[in-house]
Amino acid sequence: MNEAILLKTGEIALKGLNRGSFEDILVKNIRWRLKPFGAFDIQRAQSTITVRPKSDDIDLDEVCDAMGKVFGIAAYSRALVTEKDLGTILRDAVAYLKDDLSGIRTFKVEAKRSDKSFPYKSPEISREVGAALLSAYPHLRVDVHHPQMTVIVEIRDFAAYIHGAQREGAGGMPVSSSGQALLLVSGGIDSPVAGYMMARRGLKISAIHFVSPPYTSARALDKVETLLQTLTDYTGNITFYCVPFTKLQEAIRDHCPEELFTIIMRRLMMEIAVRVARAHDLPALITGESLGQVASQTILSLAATNAASDRPVFRPLIGMDKKDIVAIARKINTFETSILPYEDCCTVFTPKRPKTRPTLRYVEESQALFDFEPLLAEAVENIEEKVIRLEW
Ligand code: ATP
Ligand code: MG
């Protein structure tokens, strides 16, 4: 059978004159994602990218699953590629859609004719295909308003395409089309979701994580790497920076007011993240903070943390409830890993009574009680860098 996968671009279509470059990035991402499956022919026309396998042994279900995770694709479907001849189309539609139609009762047909030399107009094609399906499958009924399935017949330049159920794509914009940013990732539920959300807006993600051995274990670091590995399904490869943070945390414990331990720790994380971002040309940071979730995420705490960064900090979860964040974590398969019980450096030296309304001045004065600069420089010096790759 001669099949293809049709990918519908979403928001890209709104990009006007920039559309071409967005599509270039999307096609490049698609090509990269297709590599492990074999050779494909890729064409684009009228906000559809057509992917055709060059050999028969490629499992299109697997390819579809992979395409369902590429940002910039709004919807996708498998389609039969057939001759531009009405008789052939009717016969092939009946055979090809058999399984799809057996489980439903109502359908409609939508025809699209971009090849205007095809002798039948769209309404006629729809009518003919609808009639052929009704006579082959008498359990069906046409419902033009709320069909369980819309059968699509497209008459394009080089072939006709017949497709059944369309699936929703990953949406958003192609990774890299918005540039790059650095995700502060912990082993928790929130930050992986934040990374996913910003990748969906077209950012290529790098990640930074702070570890405090022996207070935090190797297993906690493994957990973070597993989370990032899971994210690569959507984000592609992630450059990962692991920062040794123990000495800074001990210095905070020894020299700063206990009620500010977490805030000052957050600010030092920001300072290091900014240095890494500067060195690697990453214009923005991303965190998983959500307003009011914990003491370090009240408006004044966030203001104090924010003041430690000279570049924009994206907080896509800021207005979200935990339950909605969890729903996304489940969808992207990070949840089960996130809830494993290993400690994070945030849970080391946590104050019994954290200050929930710290003024920036009080925080800055408290941080100035100790000269953190040498330890900051040392931490940056000892960062371990590696690339977490999408596993084929
Ligand atoms: P998460 O579920 O992402 O851990 P959280 O609700 O537990 O979030 P915090 O632990 O207060 O919140 O952390 C707030 C944010 O700070 C995180 O979302 C993350 O962006 C960043 N962060 C926390 N701990 C680390 C860490 N060890 N390394 C890097 N970033 C961190
Ligand atoms: Mg956390």
The Cα 265–Cα 251 span in angstroms is 10
Structure tokens at 270: 């920001």
> At 52, is the secondary structure helix, strand, or coil?
strand
Question: Among 93, 96, 126, which residue's Cα sits nearest to residue 109?
Answer: 126
Q: Which ligand ends up closest to the CA of 194? A: 1
Say if ligand 1 is within 6 A of residue 293 CB: yes
Distance (angstroms) between ligand 2 centre and the Cα of 198 equals 18
DSSP letters for 15-27: -GGGHHHHHHHHH
User: What's the whole-number mean pLDDT along residues 93-105?
Assistant: 95
> At 161, is the secondary structure helix, strand, or coil?
strand
pLDDT(366) > 90 = yes
The Cα 74–Cα 112 span in angstroms is 18
- Looking from the CA of residue 287, the nearest atom of ligand 1 is 20
Q: Which ligand ends up closest to the CA of 345? A: 1
What's the sign of the alpha-carbon dihedral 216, 369, 312, 384? negative
For residue range 12-34, list pLDDT tens digits in order: 766 666 777 899 999 999 999 99
Question: Among 51, 353, 321, 97, which residue's Cα sits nearest to residue 189?
Answer: 321
The Cα 286–Cα 207 span in angstroms is 9
CB 248 within 8 A of CB 270: no
| Pocket-testing residue among 209, 221, 346, ligand 1, by greatest number of atoms within 8 A of Cβ | 346
Residue 46 pLDDT level (bands cut at 50, 70, 90): confident
The whole-chain average pLDDT of the chain stands at 94
The Cα 264–Cα 257 span in angstroms is 10
pLDDT of residue 13: 64
Q: State the Cα angle at 78 between 72 and 84, rounded to 5°.
A: 110
Distance (angstroms) between ligand 2 centre and the Cα of 189 equals 7
CB 273 within 8 A of CB 184: yes
The Cα 34–Cα 67 span in angstroms is 8
pLDDT of residue 353: 87
| Pocket-testing residue among 185, 191, 314, 318, ligand 1, by greatest number of atoms within 8 A of Cβ | 191
Q: Residue 314 gets which letter from DSSP?
A: E
pLDDT of residue 360: 94
Distance (angstroms) between ligand 1 centre and the Cα of 291 equals 13
pLDDT of residue 344: 76
Q: Residue holding tokens 């058999």?
A: 98
Phi first, then psi, for residue 186 (nearest 5°) are -110, -175
Say if ligand 1 is within 6 A of residue 346 CB: yes
Question: Among 114, 148, 146, 153, which residue's Cα sits nearest to residue 130?
Answer: 153
pTM, two decimals, is 0.93
pLDDT of residue 17: 64
User: What's the whole-number mean pLDDT along residues 351-358?
Assistant: 87
Strands (E), 18-95: 40-45, 48-53, 73-82
pLDDT of residue 164: 86
Q: State the Cα angle at 308 between 365 and 202, rounded to 5°.
A: 165
For residue range 291-329, list pLDDT tens digits in order: 988 888 899 999 999 999 999 999 999 999 999 999 999
Distance (angstroms) between ligand 2 centre and the Cα of 226 equals 16
Q: Which ligand ends up closest to the CA of 294? A: 1
The Cα 195–Cα 190 span in angstroms is 9
Say if ligand 1 is within 6 A of residue 209 CB: yes
> Residue 68, annotated ligand binder?
no
The Cα 176–Cα 237 span in angstroms is 12
